[in-house]
């Protein structure tokens, strides 16, 4: 069928062609099926949208990028034919029919996802099938390799590569900013790619960005790691495991997190950086991904099993995730607290957790004896070696190596939230704290966030300060304070404990 081209001045990065419903019918294709456009010697497959009225009969509307790709302009005539479905659609249907797929089939799906040959409908059907029917560990290995191998990979030859990953859900998690310099100071190699916040108050990449640039391509990462042994950069700057991002785009609106796909997602990035050894931090808590010790054990078993398929040694550490790590939430506040820890003046819970995880890596890397890793990590921290290494990394990433925790600029507008009653501080809502920090401007306003002033388990009297809110504008501070008073994220328990014996007597 020959149609006249109308170019729409948009570029959406999807190969789409919009036809009048009747033309589509006469071509014999349903909406979201494919046509091949023949433009001179070029041919381009596009997914078809249909419309009753926007595009008249005889016209095919193409977004600017597709038109440019084919060298077509308004008024050109283009020939259209129904295109074959890519074979991976068959494999997706096979997975929907509860069959296991083989290595080549996963490879084909990942390639077609990346080439734009699969529509969102087909990708969603695939992810839904993985969620409903799950994958065997064999299959998970195939998919992980296919995702990692169809993307950029770091080449850090010569030395074994170490890495860590924390499953999400805990605010204030700045342990990477301690672990990377400790591990690198011990002479090991740790190229850490991190994410930015989407729903949290600060991603590790946002926090590190307070100290140095974080966007580097693969070659730059290799250069920095070769020089310093470590890096803390943004994963989005390098094209590691790009198919994973496309699968995540389907998971989020559905709020699903297929178990083995979640494990695959983490490990594909580790495989792509060339990790030989990975420690997985599994924070356990009522608002994290891992809710029970049973779940934590299942995650651990599966991470280790997948690691075996990939030739990566994995160890898992279950940690407490029921409250923020340290006292600071928000990019600049967290960066400051991490520096304080490196300078030796931060709360012990942060140092404690960082040294636990770093210690596991030091033991695995053979620079500490079994059982002595945590102690060795402490030594490196307290001797100032970790701080020196962090400055070296900051410099290599293009930041100011003379930075100190005191030089970090935090939000100038501040308010203290006080306790509305008296009692023991028995819990706090991670989710509410994040909501308040985001209302204050985090992560966009680097200086915005929360600094906790109370300690868990301690007695609090009415009017005692419980946390401070930092903001870069008066308006956002007010919004955050209003929210804090509404949400009351700190849970107090009355001093009833002492009265229990009386009740018992009454019984």
Please report, as ranges, the residues that interact with a copy of itself according to CB under 8 A: 8-13, 18, 24-26, 28-33, 49, 51, 54, 61, 85, 89, 92-93, 96, 98, 119-122, 124-125, 128-129, 131-133, 196-199, 248-250, 252-256, 438, 443-444
Q: In the complex, what is the shortest distance from the CB of residue 375 to a copy of itself, in angstroms, rounded to a whole number?
A: 39
DSSP letter, residue 208: H
Which C-beta is closer to a copy of itself: that of 36 or that of 349?
Answer: 36
Which C-beta is closer to a copy of itself: that of 49 or that of 405?
Answer: 49
Phi and psi angles of residue 228, each rounded to the nearest 5 degrees, phi first: -110, -15
Q: How far apart are CA 119 and CA 192, in angstroms?
A: 32
Which C-beta is closer to a copy of itself: that of 6 or that of 376?
Answer: 6
Give DSSP secondary structure letters for 237-276.
GTTSSHHHHHHHHHHHHHT---HHHHHHHHHHHHHHTT-S
Asked if 343 contacts 383 with a C-beta cutoff of 8 angstroms, the reply is: no
Which of these, 150, 88, 83, 94, lies nearest to 122 by C-alpha position?
Answer: 88
Catalytic residue among 23, 257, 379, 464: 257
Asked if 192 contacts 176 with a C-beta cutoff of 8 angstroms, the reply is: yes
Q: In the complex, what is the shortest distance from the CB of residue 231 to a copy of itself, in angstroms, rounded to a whole number?
A: 22
* SS3 labels along 30-95: CCCCEEEEEECCEEEEEEEEEECCCCCCCEEEEEHHHHHHHCCCCCCEEEEEECCCCCHHHHHHHH
Which C-beta is closer to a copy of itself: that of 260 or that of 354?
Answer: 260
Task: Map residue 467 onto helix, strand or coil.
Answer: strand
Which C-beta is closer to a copy of itself: that of 209 or that of 222?
Answer: 209
Q: In the complex, what is the shortest distance from the CB of residue 106 to a copy of itself, in angstroms, rounded to a whole number?
A: 18
Put the strands of the sheet holding 449-452 in their side by side order: 328-329, 449-452, 465-471, 413-418
Q: In the complex, what is the shortest distance from the CB of residue 44 to a copy of itself, in angstroms, rounded to a whole number?
A: 18
Phi and psi angles of residue 10, each rounded to the nearest 5 degrees, phi first: -135, 160
Which C-beta is closer to a copy of itself: that of 28 or that of 344?
Answer: 28
| Residues with Cβ within 8 Å of residue 291, at least 6 apart in sequence | 284, 285
Is the peptide bond preceding residue 443 cis, with omega within 30 degrees of 0?
A: yes
Q: In the complex, what is the shortest distance from the CB of residue 10 to a copy of itself, in angstroms, rounded to a whole number?
A: 5
Which C-beta is closer to a copy of itself: that of 36 or that of 453?
Answer: 36
Which C-beta is closer to a copy of itself: that of 48 or that of 185?
Answer: 48
Strands (DSSP E) found in 252-356: 277-284, 313-320, 328-329
Q: In the complex, what is the shortest distance from the CB of residue 457 to a copy of itself, in angstroms, rounded to a whole number?
A: 31
Please indicate whether residue 244 is annotated as part of the active site: no
Question: What Rg, from alpha-carbon coordinates, does the chain have?
Answer: 27
Q: In the complex, what is the shortest distance from the CB of residue 440 to a copy of itself, in angstroms, rounded to a whole number?
A: 13
Q: In the complex, what is the shortest distance from the CB of residue 107 to a copy of itself, in angstroms, rounded to a whole number?
A: 20
| Residues with Cβ within 8 Å of residue 170, at least 6 apart in sequence | 283, 285, 288, 321, 324, 325, 430
Asked if 467 contacts 434 with a C-beta cutoff of 8 angstroms, the reply is: no
> Among all residues, which ones are annotated catalytic?
257
């Amino acid at each position: 069928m020959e149609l006249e081209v109308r170019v729409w001045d948009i570029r959406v990065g999807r190969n789409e062609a919009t036809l009048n419903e009747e033309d589509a019918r006469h071509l014999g294709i349903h909406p979201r099926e494919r046509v091949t456009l023949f433009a001179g010697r070029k041919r381009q497959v596009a997914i078809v949208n249909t419309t009753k009225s926007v595009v008249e009969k005889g016209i095919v509307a193409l977004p600017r990028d597709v038109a440019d790709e084919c060298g077509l302009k308004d008024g050109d005539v283009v020939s259209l034919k129904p295109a074959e479905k890519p074979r991976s659609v068959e494999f997706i249907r096979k997975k929907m029919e509860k069959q296991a797929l083989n290595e080549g089939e996963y490879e084909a799906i990942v390639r077609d996802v990346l080439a734009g040959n699969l529509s969102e409908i087909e990708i969603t059907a695939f992810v839904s099938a993985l969620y409903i029917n799950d994958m065997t560990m064999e299959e998970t290995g195939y998919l992980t390799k296919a995702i990692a191998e169809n993307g950029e990979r770091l080449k850090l030859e010569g030395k074994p590569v170490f890495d860590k990953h924390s499953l999400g859900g805990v605010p204030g998690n700045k342990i990477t900013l301690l672990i990377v310099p400790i591990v690198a100071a011990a002479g090991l190699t740790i190229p850490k790619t991190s994410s930015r916040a989407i729903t949290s108050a600060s991603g590790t990449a946002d926090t590190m960005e307070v100290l140095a640039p974080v966007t580097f391509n693969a070659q730059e990462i290799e250069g920095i790691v070769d020089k310093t042994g470590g890096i803390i950069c943004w994963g989005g700057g390098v094209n590691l495991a790009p198919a994973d991002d496309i699968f995540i785009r389907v998971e989020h609106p559905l709020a699903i997190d297929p178990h083995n796909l979640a494990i695959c997602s983490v490990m594909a990035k580790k495989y792509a950086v060339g990790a030989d050894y990975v420690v997985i931090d599994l924070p356990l808590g009522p608002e994290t991904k891992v809710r029970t010790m049973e779940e934590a054990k299942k995650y651990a078993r599966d991470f280790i099993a997948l690691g075996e398929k990939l030739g990566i040694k994995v160890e898992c550490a279950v940690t407490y995730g029921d409250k923020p790590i340290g006292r600071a939430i928000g990019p600049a506040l967290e960066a400051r607290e991490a520096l304080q820890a490196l300078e030796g003046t931060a709360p012990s819970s942060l140092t404690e957790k960082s040294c636990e995880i770093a210690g596991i890596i030091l033991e695995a890397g053979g620079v500490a004896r079994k059982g002595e890793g945590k102690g060795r990590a402490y030594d490196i921290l307290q001797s100032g070696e970790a701080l020196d290494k962090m400055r070296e990394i900051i410099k290599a990433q293009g930041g100011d190596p003379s930075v100190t925790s005191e030089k970090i600029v935090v939000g100038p507008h501040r308010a203290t939230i006080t306790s509305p009653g008296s009692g023991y501080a028995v819990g706090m809502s991670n989710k509410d704290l994040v909501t308040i920090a985001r209302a204050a401007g985090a992560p966009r306003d680097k200086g915005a966030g929360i600094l906790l002033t109370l300690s868990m388990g301690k007695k609090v009297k009415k009017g005692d300060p419980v946390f401070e809110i930092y903001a870069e504008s008066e308006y956002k501070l007010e919004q955050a304070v209003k929210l804090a008073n509404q949400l009351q994220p700190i849970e107090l328990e009355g001093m009833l404990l002492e009265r229990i014996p009386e009740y018992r007597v009454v019984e």
